[in-house]
Amino acid sequence: MTNKDVPPPPSTATSRLSQITSHISPSSSSTTPSPPADWSDVLSELAHVRTLAQTPQADTTGYQRHKQAGKLWVRERIELLVDRGSFREVGSAAGSATWRKKWSGEEVTEKGLGVVEGEKEVVDGFTASNNVQGFGKVGGRKVLLTADDFTLRAGHADGALMPKTLYMEKLCLHLKLPMVKLVDGASGGGSITTYRQFQGTYLPDLELLKWVVKELDQGIPQVAAVVGPAVGLGAARAAVSHFSVIAADIGSLFNAGPKIVEGATFEEDLSFADLGGPGIHCANGVIDNVAPDEKGCYEQIARFLSYVPNHGGVLPPVIKNDDAPNRHCPELRTAIPRRAQRMYEVRNIIKEAVDRDTFFEIGPHWGKTIVVGLARMAGRTVGIFANDAMNNAGALDSAGSQKYDKHIRLCDCMGIPIVQFIDIPGFAIGTVAEKGGVMKWGLEMYKTLFGSTIPIFSVVIRRCYGIGGSILADCRDPNCRVAWPSGNWGSIPLDGGIEVNHRAELKRAGDKKPEVYAHLEAEYMNLQNPVRTANRFSIEEIIDPADTRSVVCAWTKHMYEHNLVTRLEQRAAGFIKPSFR
């Protein structure tokens, strides 16, 4: 017989039986109160914690300075962003709690409480983590959101719970829902006081951004509003987004604040705006758009989200309107001046061709030689590209190339077809352009464009010259494109081209140089008649500009009903892998 076959002593069996009996039917003589069967004690404590979290610490210096700066408190921001009553918090009890004994020594003795109940602790005080996160709806659309609370340690790591932030990024990837980030501070980034918390230093890591990159590539919308001084990790989260907007009255963004900059570069007395305000970062492309205030930021976020899908594996939303797809646009016939040297406002052309009041421009303050944005054609989302003849004659420069590069990647990841309005004299020329690396960045854009798989329709509205022109107009096989009768194209423009290619002839003409030049110009102008190009089928079709909308709407409809559906299947099978990087 083994030890385990030996029955326990009677005293042990009796003790265990009594213990079981007490669990089934507790003694009525016990002085220790039974916990409520409905767990209301725990629920009540959670409610107390949540109340503390949802109440601003109005007597603190951080909160008072926040309000003096004209900023909304974090929960006020969320109320302004999401549809009324739609916010549901995740991690509502996450933060730093202080605990106290529920009963004093006298109360324990007076009530005759046992050790367990007598030693019970309850929450005495609570400070929420400095990032509020959860679900909400924006324009009826379900989103995830994360919002910094600058009043608590300026959003730094020693007031944050990074596991909560990481969880939300992972949840975003799992649920494939848009993520909205209201950035004000470090977004959980480090500060030297973190060393005290850890009792030592640490090697910085970027686990958070690894998840963000996955979301970006899958076309899960990442949008950010800079509504305060965004620094370090907070600045990175805003800059890496699909779309970002900054509040002109309170927003700024930088790698390090003025004090650290002063010690490193000896630049003194810098304000937040001097170091990284909207005038700097909306002009260099770090941030896409600027709004006058917080409300304007949230309105732009809502509008951007209305154009894009929840993720790149589904079609963008179709929002019907009463603007007929075959609407005639006679105003477009006179949009391009007959005099080649005259400029025009290309945004007027875009707004006339797309659905009424649907053009949403992205990045208007940088890369100004081009215009990009989102719009609708018969309710269907399209990406927009146009050369802006009002800026450097529309020549594609380094900033313009980088701007279009990002826009192509955005549309490619989110499955949005692109409509191009082309009027390009070529790449920008001159010393400024060469020092800016125009050929480098122009060809980086070329690689992105030719590496993308999103459908593109081109409307050549005037000039199309050189390498820049060929990149734009010949970017698909077959090309879906038309031209206007104002089309003017070739290897190089006549201005300058005649002098270069007929230098010897003009030199020999002597006093008759103006006459010879005039004859040469007349000859080449005849050769530039776009009808000759159509005769050789070098342009597939020259259309009446008034018919542009109907032509593009028909193409867009076909893309949504056929080509984009096939593309989704190819993407799901792993044959195409768009990247926002």
Q: Is residue 61 part of a domain?
A: no
Residue 422: pLDDT over 50: yes
Peptide bond into 337 cis (omega under 30): no
69-78, 109-118, 255-264, 478-487, range with greatest mean pLDDT: 478-487
Tokens of 78: 């969320």
> Within 10 A of 109 (CB to CB), how many other CB atoms are there?
11
Q: Is residue 458 part of a domain?
A: yes
Confidence of residue 163 (pLDDT cuts 50, 70, 90): confident
Radius of gyration over alpha carbons of the chain, in Å?
A: 32
The answer to whether the pTM exceeds 0.85 is: yes
CB 295 within 8 A of CB 168: no
Q: What tens digit of pLDDT does each residue of 457-475 get?
A: 999 999 999 999 999 999 9
pLDDT of residue 117: 81
Q: Is residue 236 part of a domain?
A: yes
In this structure, the answer to whether residues 346 and 232 fall within a common structural domain is no
Total residue count of the chain as it appears in this document: 581
In this structure, the answer to whether residues 480 and 462 fall within a common structural domain is yes
Q: Is residue 59 part of a domain?
A: no
Q: Is residue 32 part of a domain?
A: no
CB 382 within 8 A of CB 559: no
Domain of residue 387 covers 330-487+542-572
pLDDT top residue among 11 and 114: 114
> Within 10 A of 225 (CB to CB), how many other CB atoms are there?
31
> Cα(first)–Cα(last) distance of the chain, in Å?
71
pLDDT of residue 28: 47
Q: What tens digit of pLDDT does each residue of 343-365 get?
A: 999 999 999 999 999 999 999 99
In this structure, the answer to whether residues 286 and 354 fall within a common structural domain is no
In this structure, the answer to whether residues 169 and 276 fall within a common structural domain is yes
Q: Is residue 423 part of a domain?
A: yes
pLDDT of residue 440: 97
Q: Is residue 37 part of a domain?
A: no
In this structure, the answer to whether residues 443 and 522 fall within a common structural domain is no
Q: Is residue 251 part of a domain?
A: yes
CB 217 within 8 A of CB 240: no
CB 226 within 8 A of CB 253: yes
Minimum mean pLDDT range among 155-159, 177-181, 182-186, 194-198: 155-159
pLDDT of residue 470: 95
Q: How many domains does the chain have?
A: 3
Instruction: Look up residue 316 and give its amino acid.
Output: P
- CATH label of the domain that carries residue 480: 3.90.226.10
In this structure, the answer to whether residues 559 and 450 fall within a common structural domain is yes
In this structure, the answer to whether residues 78 and 157 fall within a common structural domain is yes
pLDDT of residue 209: 87
